[in-house]
Amino acid sequence: MSSLNIPQKASISNGVNNFVEQLDRELRLRNYSRKTRESYCRCVNEYITVVGNPLPYQQKYVEDFLLAKQEKGLSPQTINLYLNAIKHFYREILALRQRINIKFAKRSKKLPIVLSRQEIQALLATITNTKHKLMIALAYGAGLRVSEIINLYASDVLIDELTLHIKEAKGKKDRITLIPEKLKDDLRALLAGKKGSDSVFASERGGKLTTRTAQKIFEHALQKAGIQKSATFHSLRHSFATHLLENGVDVRYVQELLGHANIRTTQLYTQVTNPMLKNIKSPLT
């Protein structure tokens, strides 16, 4: 049996495209999500194009590159994405043994934008398309990310048990979340005649809706309802968590429903719902 022709680690003579192709291949072998692969490859492609040949490793090159991003006003989260991608590239593709001793950018601690129960109802009332209205209602009522709602298949919906099986969500994790009972009949009607492999929210052309289409449906409803908050589709998930906590649901159960790995992520919502703060009266009378 002939030996497999396995390419060696990237060498100095490799072009930018070859570097990026090797990175994408390595990420696919590790089963990284398509979104993460695309982000890492884009970041590394830009880094190599700006800095030039990345061998030998010079920490100053990376620092200057990240500082330039910072000066352009990029968020700490985006700068950290670049740093993660560059670190992974040097470590896994170029087999760098030297430690990349650069601290992550300090993340901003903004509170999540939450819609009130009244705003959720006003939002839903503006949507005339039955399928679109159900999609937004389920995203809020089950605490789903936009990627999770569009990747929902008929077999994931357990109507009689009032649960959804969310598969390979963020971090490749499965979880179970709940279906609002008031959506039970609408979901049953939508799923009638569908096979288990069919998308719950299919596009008119067949196949699943795109992320952008779902976001545009939300944005249009937000504008039509006259809601001035800078809310996004993800605000539905923020609102789900906040309203559960306001209803007295233990934060550990909310963590499970959201699929957070760290409870500190879930505890951020307690800053929005703190009843002690809300009950304090201003001294201005």
- Name the average pLDDT for the chain: 86
Q: Which of 82, 90, 140, 269 is catalytic?
A: 269
Active site residue 195: no
Looking at residue 19, its pLDDT comes to 87
pTM of the model: 0.71
Choose from 30-34, 125-129, 276-280 the range with maximum mean pLDDT.
Answer: 125-129
Over residues 56-71, the mean pLDDT reads 88
Which CATH number describes the domain made up of 16-93? 1.10.150.130
Active site residue 145: yes
In order, the DSSP letters of 234-283 are THHHHHHHHHHHHTT--HHHHHHHHT-SSHHHHHTTHHHH-HHHHTPPPS
Please, what CATH class does the domain formed by 117-277 belong to? Answer: mainly alpha
Active site residue 260: yes
Q: Which of 69, 237, 238, 243 is catalytic?
A: 237
- Return all residues near 243 (Cβ < 8 A) that are at least 6 apart: 117
Active site residue 165: no
Over residues 76-97, the mean pLDDT reads 90
pLDDT digits (tens, 9 = 90+) for 228-238: 999 999 999 99
Q: Which of 37, 91, 170, 194 is catalytic?
A: 170
- Whether the pLDDT of residue 64 is over 60: the answer is yes
Q: Which of 69, 145, 208, 243 is catalytic?
A: 145
Domain boundaries, the chain: 16-93, 117-277
Residue 1 banded pLDDT, cuts 50, 70, 90: very low
Active site residue 9: no
Paired tokens of 5: 């022709």
